[in-house]
Structures are given as structure tokens and as C-alpha cells.
């Protein structure tokens, strides 16, 4: 890991992260399959269930770091007629992949794609009812800045929801998952995608991400109230939510 840390430091974290997602964009869901054993699809369903958009009321979603459109398409299926989603991602390659996938599902009329940075969102204050970010916030260099921006762009009463890999809190499972992440995921990345480095970085980004309680405090520090979290699969991932009062 030391050599990877040195490369990130010399490249600059944001540029390195951009290069990782440019390299894995076409295999992004495969990447999450490798890192979650395929369960990320159920976690995303759980995220929308907890977000609870009304099936009879139109709503606006900002999905940050949502390039391939997985969260946006689930949101639009669950929300009322006339609902819209903006997918904002710093990676042009991820946005292109999202356009390709959503075009195939004939959902493009309800979705807008915007290239932008989670730390400095290109939107006015108080314009969105929902803000989601799934498996993206741990790759943001300044996480608190991204949370502050989420608060800024939400309407009063708007809801923040984050789905992210987290800390396993089940004895034995934590050790097994750590071995799987450290040894198996990069090896599978090398075999399946021909490149282990992006997968080594993504595993490392999970270990460095704040645990559930600390991340909840960061969400509160951004100004959100009624902050809660739910562990998924023993804490392999977690859902965090908060309301802008």
C-alpha cells in the first residue's frame, strides 16, 4: 500500500481518483459486484426504500457521484409522474456510461447529466428535495465540504441520503471481509479488468473512510438534523440520512 499512497500523493488525490474512474467506468457495476459480492444491488434498493419518495408526487433528485445512473433509475421508478433526476459526477467517463445505460432504458427524458465537483456543486441554494450519493463520498478529498454542499443545495425539509461501504460490526465476519477485500478483490480486478491498481485503491479508500458514528457526526456538523444510520450486511455498508430543517 505504501507505493500506492506515494503515487496518490505525487499525482494529487483528485486527479488520481479521476483516473481510477476513467479506467473502471465501463466496469463500474462489475467493480461493485467484486467488492460487495453482488449485494450492492440490494443495498441500492434498500436506499430508495428508506428515501421513500412518494409514488404519487413529483420530486427532484440530485444524485452526486451517480454516473452510471443506478440510483437515479430506481428513484424515478419509485417516485411520482413528472419526477426528475440530475446526475452530477466529476468523471466524464462515468457520465457517458450513465447516458448509454439510461438511453437503453428510455429514461433519458427524466434525467439531466452535469459534470461537477461534489465539493463545489454548480447549483443554486435550496433547489432539491432529495440528495443522494452512493459509493462516492469516500472518494471525495474533502468529505466535510461535500456534506456542506449537500446541505446548501437542499430545500428546507429536503433529505440527504448516503450509501457507502463502512465498518463491519460482526465478529469473525470483519476478519473474513478484510481478507476478501485485501487479497481477493485486487486479484479479481487483475483477472477480470486487467488492472488491479484501481481495486487496491478502492479497497484502501474503504479502510480510511470514517466509521458509522464519526460519519454521522460529520453529517450533523454540516447542519442536518434527525441524522440516523442503518447498517447493511453487518456493516459492510451503511445508509446515512439527515434532514435540512
Average pLDDT score, the chain: 87
Residue 12's CB: how many other CB atoms inside 10 A?
11
Q: Give the least confident one: 106-110, 185-189, 209-213, 227-231.
A: 106-110
pTM check: above 0.75: yes
Give the cell for residue 135.
Answer: 459509493
> Which pLDDT value is given to residue 107?
64
Task: Provide the 3-class DSSP secondary structure of residue 86.
Answer: strand
Q: Distance between CA atoms of 129 and 52, rounded to whole angstroms?
A: 12
Task: Provide the 3-class DSSP secondary structure of residue 74.
Answer: helix
What's the pLDDT tens digit per position in 16-31?
A: 777 767 766 667 777 6
Dihedral (Cα; 16, 180, 64, 29), 10-degree rounding: 100
Give the cell for residue 15.
Answer: 486527479
What is the share, in percent, of the chain residues with pLDDT greater than 90?
57
> Which pLDDT value is given to residue 112?
93
Question: What confidence category does residue 205 fall into, taking pLDDT thresholds of 50, 70 and 90?
Answer: confident
Q: In this structure, what are the phi and psi dihedrals at residue 221, rounded to the nearest 5 degrees?
A: -60, -25
Q: What angle do CA 131, 132, 137 make, to 5 degrees?
A: 115
Q: Distance between CA atoms of 158 and 230, rounded to whole angstroms?
A: 19
Say if residue 204's pLDDT is above 50.
Answer: yes
> Which pLDDT value is given to residue 10?
46
User: What average pLDDT score do residues 164-172 get?
Assistant: 90
> Which pLDDT value is given to residue 53?
96
How does strand 128-134 pair with strand 154-165?
parallel
What's the pLDDT tens digit per position in 67-96?
A: 889 899 999 999 999 999 999 999 888 898
> Which pLDDT value is given to residue 5?
60
Q: Which residues, 6+ apart, have CB-to-CB distance to 242 below 8 Å?
A: 159, 160, 219, 220, 222, 224, 225, 226, 227, 228
What's the pLDDT tens digit per position in 4-15?
A: 565 555 456 677
Assign a CATH topology to domain 2-243. Answer: Rossmann fold (3.40.50)
Q: Where are the domains of the chain?
A: 2-243
Amino acid at each position: 500500500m505504501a507505493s500506492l499512497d506515494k503515487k496518490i500523493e505525487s499525482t494529487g488525490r483528485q486527479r488520481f481518483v479521476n483516473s481510477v474512474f476513467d479506467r473502471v467506468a465501463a466496469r463500474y457495476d462489475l467493480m461493485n459486484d467484486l467488492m460487495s459480492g453482488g449485494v450492492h444491488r440490494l443495498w441500492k434498493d434498500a436506499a430508495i426504500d428508506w428515501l421513500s419518495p412518494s409514488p404519487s408526487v413529483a420530486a427532484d433528485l440530485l444524485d452526486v457521484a451517480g454516473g452510471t445512473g443506478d440510483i437515479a433509475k430506481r428513484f424515478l421508478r419509485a417516485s411520482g409522474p413528472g419526477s426528475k433526476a440530475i446526475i452530477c459526477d466529476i468523471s466524464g467517463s462515468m457520465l457517458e456510461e450513465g447516458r448509454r445505460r439510461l438511453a437503453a432504458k428510455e429514461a433519458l427524458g427524466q434525467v439531466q447529466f452535469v459534470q461537477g465537483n461534489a465539493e463545489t456543486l454548480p447549483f443554486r441554494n435550496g433547489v432539491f428535495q432529495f440528495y443522494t450519493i452512493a459509493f462516492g463520498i469516500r472518494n471525495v478529498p474533502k468529505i466535510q465540504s461535500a456534506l456542506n454542499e449537500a446541505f446548501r443545495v437542499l430545500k428546507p425539509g429536503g433529505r440527504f441520503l448516503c450509501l457507502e461501504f463502512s465498518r463491519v460490526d460482526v465478529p469473525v465476519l470483519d476478519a473474513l471481509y478484510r481478507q476478501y477485500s485485501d487479497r481477493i478483490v485486487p486479484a479479481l480486478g487483475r483477472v477480470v479488468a486487467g488492472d488491479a491498481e484501481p481495486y487496491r485503491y478502492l479497497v484502501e479508500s474503504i479502510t480510511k473512510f470514517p466509521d458509522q458514528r464519526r460519519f454521522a457526526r460529520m453529517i450533523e456538523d454540516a447542519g442536518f438534523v434527525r441524522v440516523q444510520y442503518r447498517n447493511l450486511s453487518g456493516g459492510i455498508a451503511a445508509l446515512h440520512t439527515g434532514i435540512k430543517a
